[in-house]
């Protein structure tokens, strides 16, 4: 970056300096030329006055650094203050002479033998039809360039020096907040920032926090999983040991075997739930969306849970109106199942569960309501966390792993649905999930 800025700076400076110098040289050489021509014009006017007053013969007496030539109307040289007119060729074709013969005045600039000098010509027509021509050599634009070259080089060197210095200073200051930010990703409040970098830094910071959080969550999850696995495994190992040592006799053996089977089942559910969660977690997992009538799904789930509801002496009531959403059918079943399962499991004898499915404007609402034990406010915000159980013993006694609502939350998030909990301790709970409805279906 530093290098890039520096190179860029140098390019700009060199281009700007050269352009300025060239422009200055062009302008000054133009001004110089006009001045030369102007002064020649004055001298020519003066000489014309002298010649026309009959003083041509006195021309030689006037020392001049200007070459003076008089050319007659045919183009032959009549007089020259530096060379022998007899030896000079015809000047009829010289542009300034042609112009002077036609219009009264003419001028021209031609290269001299030396590249760095030009010859300026100025011609005036005299009253007798001949032409008075002045010629003067002067430096041209090249010589101005040549003379300015060391100055330009010096200036460029100076500017490049300044450039290198300021570019390094600039990049230093540009990069400093970024470096500081990288060093203090946890707390960037004190770091000087530019508004341009704000979105970038906010994003980086957010990602950083997310990474930390997910690392924390992973550690916590692993600890929880190990802990959850330990209990049933300890019990399996314990009962197996009793049987192994011959400490169990007769019907005890079958009771212990039953306990072992229960624990093994618990392990299976736990592992299934964990696998399910990690599937839902993975970003690669694709939703197989299709139009799903939530009322149908609710009816099917109610049918599946009828037995366990009867066992708990809980009645299930369905209150559904057909409403179609675009969703993964399997996941919808899972979601409603988990909610109903809870509503039955955390209910009271003789209690009831109501599964309500209905459209509301552009939304589809699934609401599972129970007359069960309810959840106190402080627990309500946690029930969607993994392994969170309000009453550990009750949940465990009913085979709960504390992952059901975590799965519900994941499924809802994958379908852009929102969840609302309304519960009162001792009176019951109502959890409703709101989906976007497929209006055209
Ligand atoms: P799992 O569903 O994985 O078998 P779980 O039912 O214990 O286990 P979640 O469904 O995630 O786990 O529920 C978390 C906790 O929230 C439950 O342990 C329970 O304490 C509480 N809870 C959930 N639904 C209700 C409800 N309808 N009434 C009262 N408490 C509930
Ligand atoms: Mg549950």
Atom of ligand 1 nearest to the CA of 273: 3
State the distance from the centre of ligand 2 to the C-alpha of 217, rounded, in angstroms: 21
* CA angle at 54 for the pair 48 and 55, rounded to the nearest 5°: 70
State the distance from the centre of ligand 2 to the C-alpha of 359, rounded, in angstroms: 25
> Binning pLDDT at 50, 70 and 90, where does residue 339 land?
very high
Neighbours of 190 (CB within 10 A): 7
- From 301, 308, 402, 406, mutation site for ligand 1 pocket: most ligand atoms within 8 A of C-beta: 402
Residue 135: enclosing H or E segment and its boundaries? strand 131-139
State the distance from the centre of ligand 2 to the C-alpha of 384, rounded, in angstroms: 10
State the distance from the centre of ligand 2 to the C-alpha of 355, rounded, in angstroms: 16
54-63, 84-93, 320-329, 402-411, range with the lowest pLDDT: 54-63
> Binning pLDDT at 50, 70 and 90, where does residue 312 land?
very high
> Binning pLDDT at 50, 70 and 90, where does residue 5 land?
confident
Where is mean pLDDT largest: 86-95, 155-164, 348-357?
Answer: 348-357
**Higher pLDDT among residues 188 and 267, named by residue:** 267
Dihedral sign of CA atoms 342, 345, 351, 354 in order: positive
State the distance from the centre of ligand 2 to the C-alpha of 322, rounded, in angstroms: 26
Spatial separation of the C-alpha atoms in residues 373 and 393, rounded to whole Å: 14
Q: What pLDDT was estimated at residue 82?
A: 85
- CA distance to 61, 222, 263, per residue, from 228 (Å): 125, 10, 11
Quick check: 191 pLDDT over 70? no
State the distance from the centre of ligand 2 to the C-alpha of 272, rounded, in angstroms: 13
Burial environment of residue 370 by CB neighbours within 10 A (0 to 12, 13 to 18, 19 or more): buried
DSSP-assigned beta bridge partners for residue 359: 364
Spatial separation of the C-alpha atoms in residues 399 and 382, rounded to whole Å: 19
Q: Which ligand is nearest to the CA of 273?
A: 1
**Higher pLDDT among residues 439 and 282, named by residue:** 282
Mean pLDDT value of segment 127-140: 87
Quick check: 199 pLDDT over 90? no
Spatial separation of the C-alpha atoms in residues 123 and 384, rounded to whole Å: 104
Quick check: 441 pLDDT over 60? no
3-state secondary structure of 230: helix
Spatial separation of the C-alpha atoms in residues 279 and 414, rounded to whole Å: 12
Q: What pLDDT was estimated at residue 395?
A: 62
DSSP-assigned beta bridge partners for residue 318: 355
Crossing angle between the packed helical segments 329-345 and 294-311, to the nearest 10 degrees: 30
Lookup: tokens for 389? 């159980």
Q: Which ligand is nearest to the CA of 375?
A: 1
DSSP-assigned beta bridge partners for residue 408: none
- In this structure, which residue's CA is closest to atom 25 in ligand 1? 342
Mean pLDDT for the chain overall: 88
Q: Which residues approach ligand 1 with their CB closer than 6 A?
A: 273, 338, 342-343, 346, 370, 372-375, 383, 388-391, 395, 400-406, 429
Q: What pLDDT was estimated at residue 397?
A: 67
Crossing angle between the packed helical segments 251-281 and 404-414, to the nearest 10 degrees: 20
**Which residues have CB under 8 Å from 285's CB, separation 6+?**
279
Quick check: 116 pLDDT over 80? no
Q: What pLDDT was estimated at residue 131?
A: 94
Lookup: tokens for 160? 């490049």
Spatial separation of the C-alpha atoms in residues 343 and 316, rounded to whole Å: 10
DSSP-assigned beta bridge partners for residue 149: none
Q: DSSP string of 82-125?
A: SS-GGGSPP-TT-HHHHHHHHHSEEEEEEE-SSTTEEEEEEEEE
- From 346, 354, 376, 428, mutation site for ligand 1 pocket: most ligand atoms within 8 A of C-beta: 346
Quick check: 235 pLDDT over 90? yes
Q: Which ligand is nearest to the CA of 402?
A: 1
Question: In degrees rounded to 5, what are phi and psi of residue 394?
Answer: -65, -45
Q: Contact 354/298 with Cβ under 8 angstroms?
A: no
Q: Which ligand is nearest to the CA of 395?
A: 1
Q: Which ligand is nearest to the CA of 419?
A: 1
3-state secondary structure of 306: helix
**Higher pLDDT among residues 22 and 377, named by residue:** 377
Q: What pLDDT was estimated at residue 137?
A: 84
Where is mean pLDDT largest: 79-88, 171-180, 190-199?
Answer: 79-88
**Which residues have CB under 8 Å from 24's CB, separation 6+?**
none
- In this structure, which residue's CA is closest to atom 16 in ligand 1? 383
Quick check: 440 pLDDT over 60? no
Q: Left, alpha or beta for 313 (phi > 0: left; psi -120 to 50: alpha)?
A: left
| CA-wise closest residue to 133 among 30, 34, 62, 43 | 43
Q: What pLDDT was estimated at residue 24?
A: 84
Lookup: tokens for 60? 């030689």
Residues having C-beta closer than 5 Å to ion ligand 2 = 342, 404
| CA-wise closest residue to 325 among 358, 279, 367, 277 | 358
Lookup: tokens for 21? 């110098």
State the distance from the centre of ligand 2 to the C-alpha of 287, rounded, in angstroms: 23
- In this structure, which residue's CA is closest to atom 23 in ligand 1? 342
Mean pLDDT value of segment 163-186: 81
| CA-wise closest residue to 291 among 121, 436, 122, 159 | 436
Q: What pLDDT was estimated at residue 188?
A: 65
Lookup: tokens for 286? 């694709």
Quick check: 364 pLDDT over 90? yes
Mean pLDDT value of segment 336-361: 96
- CA distance to 52, 287, 340, 363, 376, per residue, from 354 (Å): 128, 28, 9, 19, 20
pLDDT single digits (tens) 51-75 = 888 888 788 877 677 889 999 999 9
282 secondary structure, DSSP code: -
B/e letters for 406-423, b = 16+ CB within 10 Å, e = fewer, are bbbbbbbeebebebeeeb
- In this structure, which residue's CA is closest to atom 24 in ligand 1? 342
Q: Left, alpha or beta for 374 (phi > 0: left; psi -120 to 50: alpha)?
A: left
**Which residues have CB under 8 Å from 342's CB, separation 6+?**
368, 370, 404, 405, 429, 431
């Amino acid at each position: 970056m530093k290098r890039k800025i520096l190179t860029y700076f140098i390019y700009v400076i060199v281009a700007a300096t050269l352009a300025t110098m060239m422009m200055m040289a062009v302008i000054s050489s133009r001004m110089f030329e006009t001045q030369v021509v102007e002064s020649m014009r004055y001298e020519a006017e003066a000489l014309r006055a002298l010649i026309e007053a009959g003083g041509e013969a006195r021309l030689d007496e006037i020392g001049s650094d200007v070459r003076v030539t008089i050319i007659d109307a045919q183009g032959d040289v009549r007089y020259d203050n530096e060379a022998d007119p007899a030896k000079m060729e015809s000047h009829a074709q010289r542009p300034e002479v042609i112009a002077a013969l036609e219009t009264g005045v003419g001028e021209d600039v031609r290269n001299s033998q030396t590249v760095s000098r030009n010859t300026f010509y100025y011609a005036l027509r005299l009253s007798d039809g001949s032409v008075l021509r002045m010629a003067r050599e002067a430096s041209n634009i090249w010589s101005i360039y040549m003379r300015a070259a060391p100055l330009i080089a010096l200036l460029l060197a100076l500017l490049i020096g300044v450039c290198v210095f300021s570019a390094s200073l600039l990049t230093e200051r540009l990069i400093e907040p970024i470096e500081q930010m990288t060093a203090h990703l946890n707390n960037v409040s004190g770091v000087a920032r530019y508004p341009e970098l704000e979105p970038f830094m906010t994003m980086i910071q957010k990602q950083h926090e997310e990474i930390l959080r997910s690392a924390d969550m992973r550690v916590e999850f692993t600890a929880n999983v190990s802990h959850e696995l330990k209990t049933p495994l300890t019990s399996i190992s314990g009962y197996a040991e009793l049987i192994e040592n011959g400490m169990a006799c007769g019907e005890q053996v079958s009771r212990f075997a039953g306990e072992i089977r229960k624990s093994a089942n618990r392990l299976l559910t736990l592992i299934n739930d964990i696998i399910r969660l990690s599937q839902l977690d993975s970003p690669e997992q694709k939703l197989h969306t299709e139009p799903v009538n939530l009322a149908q799904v609710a009816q099917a789930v109610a049918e599946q849970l009828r037995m366990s509801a009867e066992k708990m002496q809980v009645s299930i009531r369905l209150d559904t109106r057909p409403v179609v959403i675009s969703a993964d059918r399997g996941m919808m079943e899972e979601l409603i199942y988990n909610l109903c399962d809870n509503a039955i499991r955390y209910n009271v004898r003789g209690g009831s569960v109501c599964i309500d499915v209905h459209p509301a404007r552009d939304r589809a609402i699934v609401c599972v309501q129970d007359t069960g034990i309810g959840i106190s406010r402080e627990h309500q915000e946690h029930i969607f966390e993994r392994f969170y159980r309000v009453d550990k013993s009750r949940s465990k006694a009913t085979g709960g792993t504390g992952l059901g609502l975590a799965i519900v939350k994941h499924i809802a998030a994958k379908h852009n649905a929102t969840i609302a909990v309304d519960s009162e301790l001792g009176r019951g709970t109502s959890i409703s999930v709101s989906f976007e409805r497929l209006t055209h279906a």
